[in-house]
C-alpha cells in the first residue's frame, strides 16, 4: 500500500515535471526559437542531474544522522577544483579519471570531518550544523588561497565536444552525458539502498536509530560510510559539472541553496524525492533565469513554499524536517 502510494506520487510528479517542461519548452519556442528551447531543456536536465548528485547525498546524510550538512556545497566545489587541477597538471588524463580521483579525495576529507569533528558534537545538533557552515567557509577560503580568484575551466572531453544533430536540431552532447551519469548514479544508489543488506541497515537506522543499535547494527561505522559516500558523490559531481560550470569561487554558495530547495521539495531522506525534485528545480531555475532573469529566485522559491504549505514533509518525505 505504501509503495503503491509512492509509485502514484512518483508518476504524478514526473508528469508534472514533463508538463512544466513541455509548457516552458513550447512557450520558449514561440517567443525565441525551437533551437534555443532545446538548448535550455538540455541545460535544465543537466542542472537537474548535477543537483541530484548533490541533493541525494545531502538527503541521505540528513535522513540517517539528522544532520543538515551545510558543507555539502563546499564538497561540490572542492571536487571541481581538485578535478580541474588534475586535468590541468597531467596531460592525457581523462575526465572520468579526474572524477574518480576527486570523488575519493573529497570522500576521505568528508570521512575525516565526520570522525574527528562532527563525532565530537554528536549530542549537539545545532553545534553540528554551525560547524558544517564554518567548515564550508574554511574550504571556500582554502580553495581561494590555493587556486586563486579566477575561474578554472574544465575542458569538455573531446569525444563529446561536437553536438549531436537529430531532426535538424543540435543537442549539446555533454549535457546528455551528464544526465546519463546522474541517472546511472540514481539507479546505483537505489540498488545499494533497496537491494543490499548495507542499504537495509541504513534504512533501519533512518526508521529507528536506537532500535537499530539494539539489534547490533554498527551505526557509528554506518554514519562514516554514508557521510563519505555523500561527500564522494558531491565531489565527483563537481568534476562532472566542470565543463559546464567550471571551478570558481562561490560555486559552493551557488549550488547549496538549490540542493536545499530540492531536498525540501522532494522530502528529506527520500531518494525518489531528491530525483524528482532535482529535475523540477533544474527546469524552473533554467527557464526562469532565461525568461525572467529578475524573478528567477521568486520562481524558484514559489514551488517550495507551495509544497511546504500543503505537504510539510515534502513530496516524498515521511518525516517532518
Q: What is the C-alpha to C-alpha distance for residues 150 and 264, in angstroms, rounded to an integer?
A: 33
Q: Which is nearer to another protein, 183 or 217 (CB)?
A: 217
Q: Which is nearer to another protein, 141 or 207 (CB)?
A: 207
Cell 522532494 sits on residue: 266
Q: Give the nearest distance from C-beta 221 to another protein in angstroms.
A: 9
The residues of the shown chain that bind another protein, judged by CB under 8 A, are 1-3, 197, 200-201, 203-204, 206-208, 210-220, 318
Q: Which is nearer to another protein, 30 or 122 (CB)?
A: 122
Cβ(51)–Cβ(213) below 8 Å: no
Q: Which is nearer to another protein, 5 or 162 (CB)?
A: 5
Give the residue among 56, 96, 60, 99 at the shortest CA–CA distance from 276: 56
Cβ(75)–Cβ(106) below 8 Å: yes
Cell 541530484 sits on residue: 52
Classify residue 55 by burial, with Cβ atoms within 10 Å: 0-12, 13-18, 19+: buried
The SS3 assignment for 166 reads strand
E strand or H helix at 165? strand 164-166
Q: Give the nearest distance from C-beta 213 to another protein in angstroms.
A: 4
Q: Which is nearer to another protein, 65 or 259 (CB)?
A: 65
Cβ(91)–Cβ(153) below 8 Å: no
Q: Give the nearest distance from C-beta 102 to another protein in angstroms.
A: 33
DSSP string for residues in 186-220: HHHHHHHHHHSHHHHHHHHHHH-HHHHHHTT--HH
Q: What is the C-alpha to C-alpha distance for residues 310 and 144, in angstroms, rounded to an integer?
A: 42
Cβ(234)–Cβ(256) below 8 Å: no
Q: Give the nearest distance from C-beta 320 to another protein in angstroms.
A: 16
Q: Which is nearer to another protein, 2 or 320 (CB)?
A: 2
Q: Which is nearer to another protein, 2 or 89 (CB)?
A: 2
Q: Give the nearest distance from C-beta 109 to another protein in angstroms.
A: 26
Q: Give the nearest distance from C-beta 64 to another protein in angstroms.
A: 13
Cell 576521505 sits on residue: 108
Amino acid at each position: 500500500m505504501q509503495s503503491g502510494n509512492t509509485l502514484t506520487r512518483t508518476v504524478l510528479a514526473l508528469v508534472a515535471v514533463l508538463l512544466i517542461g513541455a509548457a516552458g519548452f513550447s512557450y520558449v519556442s514561440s517567443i525565441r526559437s525551437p533551437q534555443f528551447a532545446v538548448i535550455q531543456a538540455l541545460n535544465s536536465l543537466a542542472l537537474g542531474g548535477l543537483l541530484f548528485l548533490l541533493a541525494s547525498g545531502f538527503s541521505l546524510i540528513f535522513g540517517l544522522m539528522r544532520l543538515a550538512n551545510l558543507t555539502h556545497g563546499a564538497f561540490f566545489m572542492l571536487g571541481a577544483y581538485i578535478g580541474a587541477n588534475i586535468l590541468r597538471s597531467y596531460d592525457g588524463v581523462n575526465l572520468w579519471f579526474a572524477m574518480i580521483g576527486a570523488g575519493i579525495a573529497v570522500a576521505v576529507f568528508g570521512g575525516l570531518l565526520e570522525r574527528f569533528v562532527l563525532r565530537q558534537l554528536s549530542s549537539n545538533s545545532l553545534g553540528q550544523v554551525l560547524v558544517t557552515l564554518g567548515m564550508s567557509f574554511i574550504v571556500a577560503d582554502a580553495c581561494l588561497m590555493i587556486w586563486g580568484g579566477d575561474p578554472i575551466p574544465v575542458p569538455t572531453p573531446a569525444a563529446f565536444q561536437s553536438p549531436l544533430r537529430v531532426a535538424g536540431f543540435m543537442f549539446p552532447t555533454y549535457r546528455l552525458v551528464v544526465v546519463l551519469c546522474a541517472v546511472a548514479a540514481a539507479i546505483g544508489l537505489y540498488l545499494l539502498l533497496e537491494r543490499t543488506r548495507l542499504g537495509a541497515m541504513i534504512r533501519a537506522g533512518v526508521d529507528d536509530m536506537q532500535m537499530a543499535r539494539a539489534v547490533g547494527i554498527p551505526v557509528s561505522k554506518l554514519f562514516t560510510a554514508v557521510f563519505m559516500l555523500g561527500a564522494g558523490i558531491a565531489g565527483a559531481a563537481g568534476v562532472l559539472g566542470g565543463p559546464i560550470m567550471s571551478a570558481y569561487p562561490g560555486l559552493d554558495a551557488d549550488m547549496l541553496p538549490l540542493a536545499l530547495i530540492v531536498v525540501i521539495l522532494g522530502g528529506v531522506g527520500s531518494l525518489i524525492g531528491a530525483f524528482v525534485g532535482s529535475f523540477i528545480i533544474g527546469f524552473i531555475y533554467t527557464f526562469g533565469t532565461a525568461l525572467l532573469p529578475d524573478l528567477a529566485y521568486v520562481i524558484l522559491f514559489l514551488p517550495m513554499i507551495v509544497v511546504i504549505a500543503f505537504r510539510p514533509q515534502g513530496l516524498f518525505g515521511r518525516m517532518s524536517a
